[in-house]
Amino acid sequence: MQKLVLIRHGESVWNRENRFTGWTDVDLSDEGYQQAKRAGQLLKKYDYNFDIGFTSLLKRSIKTLHIVLEELDHLWIPVEKSWRLNERFYGALQGINKDEAVGKYGIEQVQKWRRDPNEAPPSITKEDKRYPGHDIRYEDLTERELPLTENLSQTMDRVLPFWNETIIPAIRKNEKVIICAHGNSLRALIKYIDNLSDKDVTALEIPTAVPCVYELDEGLNRIRHYYLE
């Protein structure tokens, strides 16, 4: 049996301000730092250790993993960062307060954009300062890979190649893996691992900075999963 640990980053500044964040590179809030620290302490309490970590290119996720590994005295392990683990790209909603979005578009439409796997928020244009093509960290991505908006299904389409081509081989080598990512990139991954329906994933909530342990059999199928307390 293999154990895989998934963890959503700690609370960000824009989480606290109730804003849509997406690929905007905002920092952890003070509470987010403390949440990450508690997550590391919790993993230490249960004697977890890791051989490799995976995270996104966004600082709230990178810093959360760093803090967790620091608590475990595991800062020396390799960490691979990939844009494929970035949060869902929220298009024109990025930076907008969620309550303001509800006032403008209505709660039903905003909920569809947030939760329906096949509903994407309004797109931005390539001239928009939020377009990731303006960011040096994404200079190697193709035009097709640079999003103007994304739904959860499109997020899954970019997460799964990284899962299959990079993370799965590490698990097959019996490496102990921790993945620190975002609410929607993790929802996409969990939808795949647990074979969730669109309806089930719509209701899926992932708390910030609480380690979720997946126990996998020899075929890397899920046996069970649970949050550490």
Catalytic residue list: 9, 87
> What one-character DSSP code corresponds to residue 91?
G
Structure tokens at 167: 């993370």
Owner of token pair 């905007």: 24
Cα 97 to Cα 184: distance, rounded to the nearest angstrom = 18
Phi-psi map region of 195: left, alpha, beta (phi>0 left; psi -120 to 50 alpha): left
2-8 sheet: strands from edge to edge? 79-81, 52-55, 177-181, 2-8, 212-216, 222-227
What number of residues does the chain have? Answer: 229
Beta carbons within 10 angstroms of residue 139's beta carbon:
9
Q: For tokens 């020396």, what's the residue? A: 76
**3-state secondary structure at position 188:** helix
